[in-house]
Structures are given as C-alpha cells and as structure tokens.
Structure 1
Amino acid sequence: MSEAYDVVVIGAGNAAMSAAMSAHQEGASVVVLEKAPKEFRGGNTRFAGGLFRVSFQNREQIDSVVAHNGNADEVNMPVYTHDDFYNDVQRVAGGQSDEELLRFMVENSLDAVQWMSDIGINLGYNKLSALKKDAEGRTDVPKGGPVRSIHDGIGLSDDWFDVVDKAGIPVLYDTMALDFVRAEDGKITGVLVRGPEGERVIDAKATVVANGGFSSSPAMRTAYLGQDWCTVKVRGTRYNTGEILNAAIARGAEAFGDWAGCHATPIDLDAPLYGDLKLTDKTNRLSYPFSVMVNLNGERFVDEGEDIKFNTYAKTGRAILNQPFGVAFQIFDQKNVPYFEPRYSTGVPVEADTLEELANGIAERFKPLEFNVEACLKTLEDYNKAVVADKEFIPDVKDGNATQGLALEKTNWALKLDEPPYLCFAAACGLTFTFGGVKTNLEAEIIDINGKPIEGLWGAGECQGGFFYNNYPAGSGLTRGSVFGRVAGRNAAKFAQRNV
C-alpha cells in the first residue's frame, strides 16, 4: 500500500506545524506524520512554556503580534534589537553558534511570530516571566522574551492542530517514520513508515524532517551525552527517540552542532520520568537565582546569581546532574517568596522557622540520601556573613548584590537568609531537548557530508544542529522552529511544484 503527497512533514510540534502550514499556503498537498497517539500528540511543544524570543525595533511591532490577546497599556517592554538577540545567544554559547543560521533566525523572528498570529495562533505578552510592576501597575515584560503563547505549550499545540485541521491537512497518528526512500539519482522521494496498518511507503516530492532530537532515547543519550544521562528525567515527550535523525545521517546528512550538549533545567525531584500532560512544564524550579542552592554534601556548587534565569536555566540542570545522586536543594527565606515562579505551587517544600530546623527537615524528608546537616548549616552561616547587599535589589536584571569572601561567590541577588519561615525545594535535572542535529542551510535544506543539499529533504527545529552549545537563552527554540519550519515548508512546496 502506498500514497502520495507533494510534501510529507515528519513530526507534529511547532516546527513541523509551521512547515505544514507554510507548504499548504504555497498550494502543496501536505500530510503530517505524528509518531505519538492522538492523546500524546504535539511533541515537545506541548510541554513547553510557550515563550518566543523575538527581536524588534519598537513595541508597536509586538503589540501587532498580540493584538487579539493583550492590552498594550498593561505592560512595559524594552526594545530588543537584532544585535541584542544575536549577542545573547553567542554569549551563552561561547561564540560557537553558526553565524549565518543564527543571524537568519534573529532577523526573521518577528516576521515568524506575526505570521503565526495572522494564521490563528494565539500569542500574548509574556507576563508569566515578569517579576515586578511599576508604580502604575504595568507589568515589566522581560527583555528578549516579549511573547508567550496563550495557555503555554498546551495552548500553542492545540492552536496548531486547530489551524492545520481547518486547512484540511491530514495528521496520521501512531505513524512512525522509519527511513527515507531514495531514488537512484539520490533524490528523496518518500518515507517508509510504520502505522496501525503495518509498514508502508508514503511517496512525497519533498520531505521535511521536524520531529525533534534524541532526548528520549537512553541509548543515544548515553552514547552522546554520557553515562550519567542514561536514566535522567525527561521534561518533554517520550517519543523523541532519534530514529529518523539517524536515518538522515545514514543517508548522507552531515551531523552538526553540539552532540554532547542539551537543554536541561532544574525540575521537581518528584517529577515523573517523562513529561506529564497535566503538569507539562509546571515541574520547573527556576527561581534558584534568589536561593542558596546546595547539594547532598551541604555545599554550594554554582553561582546562583550568575545571570537572569533565562540565560542560565538550561545549563543548571546539567550542574545538578553532576552532583551526588543528581540532587539539589533550593533554600529561600520570605524575602524571596514574592519572586517565586507560579510553577512552585506544584511543589511541597520543607518549611521551618530556623535554618537548623530546615536542614534537619531536609535530612528527615530525604533520609535515604543522607543529607549533610552540619555542612549545610556551615554553608548557610558563611553565606550570610559574606552577604554585602549594599545595592537596590532588582529581581529582573543583574543587580550587583554579591557576596564577598567565599570560594564560590554569588554575584547577584545575594540577600541574607534571615526572614523565616524558611523554605526548601528539592530539585533534579530535567532534560528538555538535545542540541546536536543535522546541518542545514538558510533554505532549511539538509546538507550532506560533501556540503551539498540532499535533494528533496529539509529540516527544521530540534533536528537542526549548530544553534546552541553548552547553554541556551530561553525562548530561542520555539523561535527557531517557527522561522525554519516556515522556510522549510515553503521551499519544500516550491520544489514539489517544480517537480510535477
């Protein structure tokens, strides 16, 4: 049994749906292949926070994007230029991001979210990440993250399926792409799939790979990220297991980017092994810049205040994984509570009226892990003595309130822990997505090991390597998926129309 379309899109997350709609707008017949059953559809997008990092020259441009879902009088929004966006990514990546791909993503970010808004994706101002309001009650939207999908990743995913359904694009559920069909001249002419009716070939003039990386493959995680990642918790879908990524490489695609790197955040220690559709990203524990964070030995292991959470959260999960048993404890006093992310409401903290009671409470709650109470109390005592706090506390920018005299200083938001009751949230590492992928060009064509496009094959989203290294600034992943998904779909459709 076989069937034919102009464009086959592998995947059903944000990048894939961007590709499907873009190809449809060019007049192509399109089908979407979703490996997951319908109740688990949407890939990692469904588990995302829904934040888009977007560069813009004036706030009216963002007001236009969120016109149906926001009141401009309710927010303050700093301008975020192309250079701001580009430099933020390169800074956290150590200058390793592919310059052309990154610049293209940055310069097309605003157009991509405007297009999404125009076709029916509900986007609003990013109020969830805001930490304070001005005297008139306007919310300060974080610089670089002005736009968030309504109802987070679930809302974004549901919107995409609604848009695709209204366009008449079929989605085949429980349908796993196994391999590509390749003609004698090297052109990709279809996809071998396995679905409810068994294996079959879907013929396609053009194919878009947009089904993520290998975050849910223990074997690939162990091979590329390291042994410690074999049993790590996964924040997102259990269906991103890398088969079609491997198939592309087997067909000659160049492996590209940081295959030893990934996006990994602090999440609740009791979070499930894979993403939970009821909790989605609500297990995140991202208010650590305002905490003192210690391991089982009672020792600090990162500068909690190195930068705003948007620029450190994706590497902090890895830092936690490197600790004994991959566990960390975020300790707060009441001064910090107003700056908690709403996600903390899903956790059950240890609470006490003194630091000594708190440390003993941690040891009792997590008794099998043998928490070092004495060392923790010494760490907290030394920290409190080292706090200077001679500047205004500003929660949403680096405020320079630092410790002095510690072997590992806290460089921002360092306030004494002295206002009980004290709270502790236990955290683990949660893997979101992997950074390694295949090489693509600015047309989203997948490039082979000889530097030439593989005819008939495009890539978008997490399968694209070369963007993120070691770390990641929040909101860049969804933006990449939208920008390059749109490009991939458009170019795949045009290719199909030329090859009637």
Structure 2
Amino acid sequence: MRIHTPPSAVDVVVVGSGNAGFSAAVSAAERGAGRVILIDKCPAEWAGGNSFFAAGAFRTVHDGTEDILPIVNNVDSEIARIIDPEPYSQHDFRRDVDRMTSDRTDPALSQILIDDSNDAIKWLASNGVRFQLSFNRQAYKVSGRFKFWGGMTLKTEDGGKGLTEDHEAAARRHGVEVYHSTPARRIVTNVFSAIVGLVVECNGVETLINTRAVILAAGGFESNPRLRAQYLGPGWDFAWLGAGCHSTRWDANAPANGGDRTISSEFTKSGYPLGLMVNTIGERFVDEGMDMRNYTYAKFGRTIHEQPDGVAFQVWHQHAIPWLRSEEYRDEIVHKIWGSTVEELAEKLRAEEGLSSPDKFNPAAKWDPAIKDGLSTQSSRTKLPLAKSNWALPFDQGPFIAVKVCCGVTFTFGGLAVNPETTAVISRSGREVAGLFCVGEMPGGGLTSSAVFGRRARAAAASLVAGQSAMSRDLSTPTRGGPSSYARL
C-alpha cells in the first residue's frame, strides 16, 4: 500500500503519535504555530504508541469533588452522593514524587509537572479527552461509599484506546496532518546548529521536510532487547514487553513480545496487596502490603524479574478474591490455579514450579482495602521473617487461587536533557539546540507529564515560528560537514 507523502515544508513537525506527541501537535496548532504535522513510523492501525496500552490514569493536583466532577462523564447525582475523592494538593504530589524517587527527581522538571498538572488535565478535557473517575482501578466500595486512594482519581474512558481516539479527533479538528508509516531518519541543522529540516522515509524513499521546529515524542527503547540489556542490565533482554525502566507485574502467559491491542493493559496483575506473592521455591520476597499498589507496582515488577526463572505466583484466600478487579483477573484474561486448601494449592504449584506452602498470617479484626489499614503480620506474639504491613488477614479461607506473573517492561524513559521551561533539547555542550524540543518518555515521564510538557513544547515552537513561514525558509546554507554530520534518530 502506498503511503501518502508528507509536505516538503511545514512550520512544526512532531515525531510520535502517543499522548505527548498529540498533546504537542494539537496545542501547537491551537496556539497558531502555522502548519503542524505529526509523523510516526508505525502504520495507522498501531497509532498511539505506548499511550494506547496505558490504563489511562492521570495523577493531578485537584481540590476535590467540585474541581474534578465537571470534567468526568461517569458520575450522576446518585453516585455523587456516595463518593469520597479527597483533594490532592501540590504538597501531596511533591511528597509522593520525592518519596518514590528517594529525593532524586529533577526539582525543576517535577515542580513544573506538579504546578501545571491541573491546567493540563482541564485542557485535555476541553479538547475532547473523555475523563472518568477511576472506580475500577483507584477506588473500593466500603460500607456503601466509594473510597479513592493513591492520589490518582482520574482516568480516561476506555483507557489508552479511548485517549488515542480522542487525540486523533482533536488533531482533525485543529487541522493537524498525521502521516503514519513515515519514520524519522535524520535531523538537519545549519552552520549555527539550528534545526532547518527533518529527513523522513516514505514509501521506501528518503525525503526532506523543511521546518523551523521539530518536537521529539518518539518514546523509549523498550522494544529493543540489545538496548535493554545495555542500559538496564543483564537479563532485561528476556523481560516481557507490555507495550531507568518502568516495569510491572505482567501475566506470565501473555505474549512475550509485542502488545495485544484488544487486551492491552489488562495483562497487568495489580491485586497482590490483598494477597501474597511467592517465588518458585515457595518464598515470599516482598512486603506485599507495604504501600498502596500505585507506589509499589513498578519496583515489584523489577523484583519479580530478579526471582528464580524470573516468575512468581500471586496467591489469595477467599476473603480477598471478590476484591480482585475483573478486567485483570476474569477467567477470559488469566489462567487461575485453584486449591481447596493451602496444601492442595501448594502441591499444584509444586508440580508446576516446585513451590512449597505459603506463609500463614496473623488473625486480624478489621480489614479495609481502601486505606493502609495497619493489619500486619507482625505482633507481640508472632513475627514473620518478612512482614506484610497491611491487609494481612489469616490465610485460612479456601478455596484459594494463584496466578503466575512475570516482569513486564511497559516503557523505558529518560536520556535527553531538556530545558524544563521550554522542553528545548540541551546538547552535550550545555547549549539549547535551536528549534529542537523533546517531550514524553524521551526526557522521562508518564501521561500527566506528557500532557504538561507537550503543551510547554507547543508554546516554545509557536514562539519560534511566529511571524515567519517555514515555506520561505532559506536552506541554502550547507549543514556543517555536509550530510554525514546529520543527527541520526
């Protein structure tokens, strides 16, 4: 099939069709940046990048019900009376960022993320992104009320699939031209190292697009086993692909390479805080209840990867099973191993992986999955060698189930330094590259970050091209050293 060829001269080229790329492109067009095009090497049916496979959760500062209900579409008057979305302040966001990164986050980047998060979410909503309260992922109904937890109240309708659909619709409304099956090959600069063009491949032929601004939003290197081993360490070339490294607990029976665009993020297995995890020699290796799932799932994915054979089992008793989310644990999605007793389950797992019996927990009086309830295995009478700090009910209510999980690489991130204010790329000499911007996973971040800095890039790009058309750009000045010095993507 012949692919439509992009124009030879535009004002802004965005590389990548994920949340960051579309946010930058739509915002640039909205800002009056001239002719804006978005290119991606994937075919049209694979649009969305990693964002397509996301569950669609956005972490944002908000003031509670009155602030967020106007932008969601799944709360009627009856439900509104039984929800408790607590405000999430800038202090809360900062505390969580610092705690999760051990105070190693870039202070300027993270502060802009925090400060701009609410405006970015509302801008997305104004451009047709359908937001909902995340009842399925971030709330439990306890005593007749929905209690939200973990600081992420909002998600997009139909997750990353819906987010991609909404972005594509917004791009069409704002006149952004999208060209798929068009990989970027080389950045072209003039003698002043300023961006003057981008070489792309279309229908097997390389062609030059003259432009004043290029916004890179092309994601990470998670699909490349060699680069994973090189930059993440030994063994990461064998990790499963779901869509530093962002990893998760992934269904061990899922396809090893490549995403399923129908099942998508449902291969993730997030119910471990309510049960326990054991490796193939029957040992618990993490405190499953040390924190809410939001704050542990990525590092636990890495820990699973470090276990024998790189796999583990999530195990639950009957009291916890009804609380497992159906989109991750329904029979159509995951293979379940059942046992009427702990010993029977252990025997079945032993036959498969050599697993011994799981640890038993201390009795507990009151259990609440929506808060860190403090029901621990550690008491004055009994202490396990490895604690379970919350949600530790006695493991004595059968039948029991187990699910085999592994580590899934959802995305890699980081690598390019940018000016936090403008997202302009910083060269090795410490100077900004005029006309080159970078957003999304390439400098590092998730959905909220992609939207925040995508909008920042559009402002800088629009300012760059203001009052001047790339159509009349004089490219007669040769690139320093000729074509061999072009930057390769």
Fold equivalence (TM over 0.5): yes
Secondary structure of the structure 1 residue equivalent to 2:136 = coil
Gaps of 5+ in 1: 237-260, 468-476
Alignment partner, residue 6 of structure 1:
11
8 Å Cα contact 2:216/2:439 also seen in 1: yes
Alignment partner, residue 354 of structure 2:
372
Q: Is 1:52 equivalent to 2:58 in the alignment?
A: yes
1:155 corresponds, among 149, 159, 162, to: 162
Q: Superposed, which structure 2 residues align to 1:63-212 within 5 Å? A: 63-66=69-72, 68-71=73-76, 72-73=80-81, 75-135=83-143, 137-212=144-219
Q: Deviations over 1:318-373 (max 9, x none)?
A: 10100111100011111111221221111121001011111122233x3xxxx224
Amino acid at match of 1:204: T
8 Å Cα contact 1:79/1:143 also seen in 2: no
Secondary structure of the structure 2 residue equivalent to 1:443 = coil
Cα distance, 1:57 vs structure 2 = 2.5
Q: Is 1:438 equivalent to 2:416 in the alignment?
A: yes
Alignment partner, residue 340 of structure 2:
353
2:370 corresponds, among 382, 396, 400, to: 396
Q: Is 1:308 equivalent to 2:317 in the alignment?
A: no
CA distance in 1: counterparts of 2:289 and 2:376, whole angstroms = 8
Secondary structure of the structure 1 residue equivalent to 2:425 = strand
Q: Is 1:344 equivalent to 2:343 in the alignment?
A: no
CA distance in 2: counterparts of 1:74 and 1:314, whole angstroms = 31
1:227 corresponds, among 234, 239, 251, to: 234
8 Å Cα contact 1:129/1:141 also seen in 2: no
Q: Deviations over 1:263-288 (max 9, x none)?
A: 10001111112211011000011111
CA distance in 2: counterparts of 1:325 and 1:234, whole angstroms = 16
8 Å Cα contact 1:131/1:339 also seen in 2: no
Q: Deviations over 1:217-256 (max 9, x none)?
A: 11111110012111211111xxxxxxxxxxxxxxxxxxxx
Q: Is 1:328 equivalent to 2:312 in the alignment?
A: yes
Aligned-residue CA RMSD in angstroms?
1.6
Alignment partner, residue 283 of structure 2:
299
CA distance in 2: counterparts of 1:288 and 1:450, whole angstroms = 46
CA distance in 1: counterparts of 2:46 and 2:392, whole angstroms = 42
Q: Superposed, which structure 2 residues align to 1:406-417 within 5 Å? A: 406-417=384-395
Amino acid at match of 2:21: A
Amino acid at match of 1:448: S
2:40 corresponds, among 34, 49, 52, to: 34
Q: CA 1:74/1:461 → structure 2, altered by over 3 Å: closer, same or farther?
A: farther
CA distance in 2: counterparts of 1:428 and 1:158, whole angstroms = 30
Alignment partner, residue 264 of structure 1:
247
Amino acid at match of 1:429: C
Cα distance, 1:388 vs structure 2 = 4.6
Alignment partner, residue 220 of structure 2:
213
Cα distance, 1:290 vs structure 2 = 1.2
Secondary structure of the structure 2 residue equivalent to 1:461 = coil
Secondary structure of the structure 2 residue equivalent to 1:387 = coil
CA distance in 2: counterparts of 1:330 and 1:92, whole angstroms = 23
Q: CA 1:69/1:488 → structure 2, altered by over 3 Å: closer, same or farther?
A: farther
8 Å Cα contact 1:126/1:142 also seen in 2: no
| Percent identical | 36
Amino acid at match of 2:453: F
CA distance in 1: counterparts of 2:138 and 2:456, whole angstroms = 31
Alignment partner, residue 475 of structure 2:
none
Question: What's the TM-score once normalised by structure 2's chain length?
Answer: 0.89
> How many residue pairs align between the two structures?
451
CA distance in 1: counterparts of 2:166 and 2:438, whole angstroms = 22
Alignment partner, residue 477 of structure 2:
none
Alignment partner, residue 491 of structure 1:
460
Is the deviation greater in 16-25 or in 54-63?
54-63
CA distance in 1: counterparts of 2:200 and 2:9, whole angstroms = 13
Amino acid at match of 1:414: A
Is the deviation greater in 159-168 or in 453-462?
159-168
1:451 corresponds, among 430, 443, 451, to: 430
Q: Deviations over 1:166-222 (max 9, x none)?
A: 222111111111221111111012211122242111111101001111111111111
Alignment partner, residue 254 of structure 1:
none
Amino acid at match of 1:4: A
Secondary structure of the structure 2 residue equivalent to 1:402 = coil
Secondary structure of the structure 2 residue equivalent to 1:8 = strand
Secondary structure of the structure 1 residue equivalent to 2:269 = coil
Amino acid at match of 2:161: I
CA distance in 2: counterparts of 1:9 and 1:313, whole angstroms = 31
Amino acid at match of 1:330: Q
CA distance in 2: counterparts of 1:191 and 1:221, whole angstroms = 27
Q: CA 1:70/1:6 → structure 2, altered by over 3 Å: closer, same or farther?
A: farther
CA distance in 2: counterparts of 1:478 and 1:130, whole angstroms = 16
8 Å Cα contact 1:265/1:315 also seen in 2: yes
Cα distance, 1:143 vs structure 2 = 4.3
8 Å Cα contact 1:78/1:143 also seen in 2: no
